[in-house]
Amino acid sequence: MNRSPPPNRRRSPRLGWGIVLGVAWLLLCGLASAWAEEPLSLVISDANPILANADHTGILDQLVLETFRRARIPITITPLPSERALTNANAGIDDGDLLRIVGLEKNYPNLIPLGEKWMDMEFSVFTRDPRLTIDGWEALRPHAIGLIRGWKVFERATEGFPHLSLAVNADSLFTLLLKNRVDLILYDRLQGMIAIKRRGLTEVREVGRPLTVEPLFLYLNKQRADLIPRIEATLRGMKQDGSHARLMNDAIAAALRQGP
C-alpha cells in the first residue's frame, strides 16, 4: 500500500533561538570569568621605596598584597614617578593609584577614592641645619625647599613659594639636601626616619612636629568601580580582626631593623 510521504517537520523557531541564546550565555560567562581573572593594575609612586618597591617588600606592599589576596582580586603593582602614576590611573592606562590624599578626584575626574583609608601619613620637614626651626607652612617660605614632584600636599601648600626644587624620587630628594642645594626637604616622617637610619645620616634630623597628618586612600579608575565594595569590606574586616595593625607594625619594625 502506497503511503503518502510524511509532512516536512520544521524545527521550532523557539527551540532554535533557545539554543542560540544558551550558547551566547555560555560565551558571555566565559568572557566574564576571563575578565574577573584579569589582574587589577595598580601604580604607586617610586618615590616611596620604603613603602613600596619593585621587589614588593615595602611596608605598603605587604599590606596591599594581603588585602587583595583576601578579597580574591589578582593585582599587579608597578612603581612609577608620582605625577605619572596619577595621570596613568586617571587615563585608564592603569586601574588605580596607591595611595593618595583625599580630594584628588577634583583634578583627576576619572578616579574614585575608596571610602576606607589604608593608613595615615605624617608630612614632615628634614634638615641638616641644627639651628633651623619651623612652625607651620608659612615659616617655610623664605627657605630653599626640596620636595618630590607629584606630592600634592606639599605642592599645594608651597604654591608660589620662591625657592622650590623638585625631585623625581626619594634618592634625588636627599641628594638635594646632602649637597646643600636646599635648606630643608619635605617628606613622609616614617620613610624619612627609616632612610636616615639606613643611610647613617647622623647630620639629618626632623624639624619639630609634622606639618600635617593626612589619611591616604586607594583611588580606582571609574571603569573598575565595581570592585570598590569588595575591597572596602576586606580592608574593614582586617582592621576589625587586628591583622591590619599587626601587618603594619611588623613591617615597620622589620624596616627599622635593616641597616644602611
Q: Could you tell me the residue range of the domain that residue 226 belongs to? A: 44-120+214-257
Same domain, 153 and 178: yes
User: Does residue 114 lie within any of the structural domains?
Assistant: yes
Residue 107 lies in a domain: yes
Q: What are the cell numbers at 132?
A: 633651623
The reply to whether 27 falls in a domain is: no
- Domain assignment of residue 29, yes or no: no
For residues 103 and 171, membership in a common domain is answered with no
Q: Which three cell numbers stand for residue 206?
A: 626632623
Question: What average pLDDT score do residues 204-210 get?
Answer: 95
128 with 54, same domain?
no
Identify the CATH number of the domain in which residue 236 sits: 3.40.190.10
- Residue in 161, 156, 152 with CA at minimum distance from that of residue 182: 161
- Tally Cβ neighbours within 10 Å of residue 200: 10
**Main-chain dihedrals φ then ψ at residue 227, nearest 5 degrees:** -85, -10
Grid coordinates belonging to 119 = 593608613
Shared-domain flag, residues 190 and 246: no
- Name the band, by pLDDT with cuts 50, 70 and 90, for residue 49: low
Asked whether residue 143 falls in the same domain as residue 81, the answer is no
- Tens of pLDDT, residues 124-160: 999 999 999 999 999 999 999 999 998 999 999 999 9
- Tell me the pLDDT tens digit for each residue of 78-126: 888 888 999 999 999 999 998 898 999 999 999 999 999 999 999 999 9
Q: Mean pLDDT across the stretch 178-183?
A: 96
How large is the C-alpha radius of gyration of the chain? 26
pLDDT surpassing 80 at residue 209: yes
Q: Kindly report the pTM of this predicted structure.
A: 0.75
Query: For residue 35, is it within any domain?
Result: no
78 within domain boundaries: yes
User: Is residue 30 one of the residues assigned to a domain?
Assistant: no
Q: Is residue 127 part of a domain?
A: yes
The dihedrals phi and psi of 113, each to the nearest 5 degrees, come to: -80, 145
Same domain, 71 and 131: no
Classify residue 136 as left (phi > 0), alpha (psi -120 to 50) or beta: left
Terminal alpha carbon distance of the chain? 105
Structural contact between residues 77 and 56, judged by C-beta atoms closer than 8 angstroms: yes
Cα angle, residue 172 at apex, residues 195 and 256 outer, rounded to 5°: 10
Same domain (yes/no): 131, 173? yes
Answer yes or no: do 195 and 129 share one domain: yes
Same domain assignment for residues 150 and 198: yes
Same domain, 114 and 219: yes
Cα–Cα distance, 97 to 14 (Å, whole number): 49
Q: How many domains does the chain have?
A: 2
Do residues 79 and 46 lie in contact, with contact meaning Cβ atoms separated by under 8 Å?
Answer: yes
The percentage of residues in the chain with a pLDDT greater than 90, rounded to a whole number, is 56
Q: Is there a single domain that holds both residue 171 and residue 101?
A: no
Whether 78 and 189 map to the same domain: the answer is no
